[in-house]
Structure 1
Amino acid sequence: MTRIETLSAALAAEISALPLAEKIEALNAARRALHEVSPFRSEPVDLVTWIPNDRVTANEYNPNKVASPEMALLHRSIKEDGYTQPIVTFLAGEAAVVVDGFHRHRVGKEKADVRERVHGYLPVVGIDKPLAARMASTVRHNRARGKHQVDLMSEMVVKLVNLGQSDQAIARQLGLTADELIRLKAQTGIAALFANQPFSRSWVAVEGEAADPSLALADEDA
């Protein structure tokens, strides 16, 4: 047995003798220590920790709502397959605010079978970004899975505009073309959103990225 294997076995034996709450905190501490020397420490998924579910809170801007049948399927997935994805969060004091994984966090809190199995804890990773960047991250996670709603995306654009983000910054962060952003602004019916920031219809936010067909309106020239 190598020295590392001997040390690992000794640590595992030490941790296994602890009461549950202390055991979980000790495991988290060990993971953090290993994360500090990991060649993958720049990747959030390299450090998954388990925290009490009452510390995990929803954000106020989630643009992804899941219907009851899909929520039931998610519950079954976590029940049958376990948590295969952690909840992406931003640490705000003792609270871990959800960036992605709101419905995974709901299952762990609201479904007794899952909640009991994971001892009232949830698996989380952390990202440290300002609010506008976290909002954009939430949208990117949802859009990458093909889950977003036009009305809620429009609301997100309004919030980002109110945070002082430029058209170019919003489109770049949300993966929108210029036309998609214009349509989303039009969806809000707020003319003020078009003020102060001239915007070229020919500009494309992400070079080579196809427009999202779910954001398209009928051809005005048709």
Structure 2
Amino acid sequence: MRNFFGNGFGSNSGKIVAMDRFDNGRSLSPIRQAEAYWTALLTSDGIPKRSQVDPRGLENILEYTFILERITPRLARFRVAGSHLNKLAGMEVRGMPLTAFFEPSARSQISDVLEQVFAKPAIAGFDLVSAGKLGRTRVQARMILLPLKSDLGDVSRVLGVLVSDGAISATPRRFTIQDTQLRAVSDVQAPKRPKRQLSTGFAEAPQEFKRPGSHLRLVVSRDD
């Protein structure tokens, strides 16, 4: 597990990594749009509330978007899920646990990361793969989990996006985890602005001020 974002999720420095596409060139813009939307909701109070998430702000990526509700520290279920997730699962996923999208060998790992998303809290990014077998093609996927507060103020909701690349078969897809990127929410809070320094590029060197006094002389006019 890496404690920084790569492969299109950004980095601790706030810069975006150039690699933002699947192997065949498909864009990962739904991931970026979701993270940008969530980041725009951040305030000085920290994590956004679930009630602040407006579907109209995510209308271009709704099919990939979902909302999770925390059930236990290591388990969360889908409250809302877009059509892309239903197609991957081969059924309606609302009410199902997030772990249902993963092979048994990967479920403990996803639960470990989910616990940190709620507890730290943190943002999690995943590189996923569903192996090709029984005539099915290999499918790549990327997922991001962005923590949210409930109306009670506890971190018990998640705004997420899951986008895959490859043919979706009629049978359910289950994924393994190739890589995980975890970043504390505190790392993406707006940094304090440094004190502004005045540029001296066009400034003239300050001159010493000399009080007039002994250098003055009285001029008397003798005009009649």
What TM-score bracket applies, with the shorter chain setting the length? under 0.3
Question: By percentage of residues, which structure has more helix?
Answer: 1
Higher Rg: 2
Q: Relative contact order: is structure 1 or structure 2 higher (C-alpha 8 Å, sep ≥ 6)?
A: 2
Question: By percentage of residues, which structure has more strand?
Answer: 2
Provide TM-score, normalisation by structure 2: 0.25
